[in-house]
Structure 1
Amino acid sequence: MQTKTMKMLAVALCALALGQGDAIAAGTHAGGHGDKMAAGTPGEASQATRTVRVELKETEDGMTIDPAALQVHQGETIRFLVRNVGEIEHEFVIDTPVRNQEHKKVMAQFPDMEHDDPNSIRLEPGAEGEVVWTFSNTGSFEFACLIPGHYESGMHGDIDVAHK
């Protein structure tokens, strides 16, 4: 089990890896996520234009996030209802593919890192929760589980954000 010092070190290292120096002051693993990110901004559930149900699970061939891909319009606010129907812990993170890869490297060093960011949720087996996100920018983004080995087992998908 990590000590408080180890958790703070994980926060600092992740902040440095992701270029988010304000994370140390914010007390989260990647801080600054409350502000605008490339993929958008935290949304309000009351402003959601649609709800997308997401399942995280293991399969005979690996691990999956269902749906495997998503089409979104710029400015759309999505309420992701995320449920872990698997037998082990999983997470759901929205970001750019590059930032997810950076985050994945830090997670490999600190797999029990605590998360407190509006673009992600970590769930025990059978648990459910939500992420509400406004996709303010067009482009290609990604959702993924960044727990070590899960991304490589298939737990990631594309989010295509198009102009209205």
Structure 2
Amino acid sequence: MKALQFIAVCALLVSATASFSHEKSSHHGQAAAAPQQQAWGIAGEAAKATRTITLRMTDDMRFTPSHFNVQRGETVRLRVQNQGQVLHEVVLGTQASLEQHAAMMREHPGMEHAEAHMAHVKPGRKDDLLWNFNRAGSFDFACLVAGHFEAGMRGSFTVTP
């Protein structure tokens, strides 16, 4: 019985690890997950990007710019540049979703995760996040690496109708 419980726990851990991988991989042999609508938009396609906005991240726990504007329906390439010496990330969301995710990261600091609305960037590197801003409103973004959100590494964006 204990062996079955152990196997079940291992299966859950493998499943959780697979769903929260920092690495962007193609998961050979598996179909890509369909984009999921979020309150702040949906994953975009590179061919439909109308412009690029560069978000720079530094070890002073700030984003530059800390705010940007887009039009509803616009697909934008967010070029995320890490100009620091430590890992940083950008996660799009609402204040509530970011606070909830930050709390989860504090509980599980080594947790790996990958979703279309986030980019994890190693020091001195850059990555592109493609997003279709199809919902109007005011939203947020942040770095949820343990301690960075709490240090003020956050920003906002406005999607106008």
Structure 1 segment 93-132 matched on structure 2, within 5 A: 93-132=91-130
TM-fit CA distance, 1:9: 8.2
Any conservation in 2 of the 1:10–1:113 contact (CA below 8 Å)? no
User: Which runs of structure 2 are paired with 1:1-150 in the superposition (5 Å)?
Assistant: 5=10, 8=13, 11=16, 27-29=18-20, 34-59=35-60, 63-150=61-148
* Local SS of the residue matching 2:120: strand
Distance 2:110 2:102 in 1: 12
In 2: Cα distance, 1:153 partner to 1:113 partner: 19
- How far is the alpha carbon of 1:11 from its aligned partner? 3.6
Superposed displacement of residue 34, structure 1: 3.0
State the AA in 1 paired with 2:48: Q
Give the AA of the match of 1:124: K
Query: Residues of 1 paired with 2:14 and 2:94: CA distance?
Result: 24
Larger Rg: 2
Distance 1:141 1:10, change over 3 A: farther
Secondary structure of residue in 1 paired with 2:105: helix
Runs ≥4 in structure 1, deviation > 3 angstroms?
Answer: 9-12
Cα separation, partners in 2 of 1:10 and 1:125, compared to 1, 3 Å: farther
Query: 1:133-161 CA deviation, whole Å, 9 max, x = no partner?
Result: 00110111111101121012221101111
Using structure 1 for the length normalisation, give the TM-score: 0.78
Report how far residue 28 of structure 1 moved. 1.7
> 1:107–1:83: structure 2 CA closer, same or farther, 3 Å change rule?
same
| Structure 1 CA distance for aligned equivalents of residues 148 and 141 of structure 2 | 12
Residue 106 of structure 1: SS of its match in structure 2? helix
SS of the equivalent of 1:86 reads coil
Q: Partner of 2:59: helix, strand, or coil?
A: strand
- Three-state SS of the structure 2 residue aligned to 1:103 is helix
* TM-score relative to the length of structure 2: 0.80
Identity %: 33
- Structure 2 residue runs of 5 or longer lacking an equivalent are 1-8, 22-32
Aligned length, in residue pairs: 142
Secondary structure in 2 aligned to 1:111? coil
* 3-state SS, counterpart of residue 100 of structure 2: helix
CA distance in 2, matches of 1:67, 1:131: 16
Say if 1:115 and 1:122, in contact at 8 Å, map to a contact too.
no
**Letter of the aligned partner of 1:28 in structure 2?**
S
Cα separation, partners in 2 of 1:64 and 1:139, compared to 1, 3 Å: same
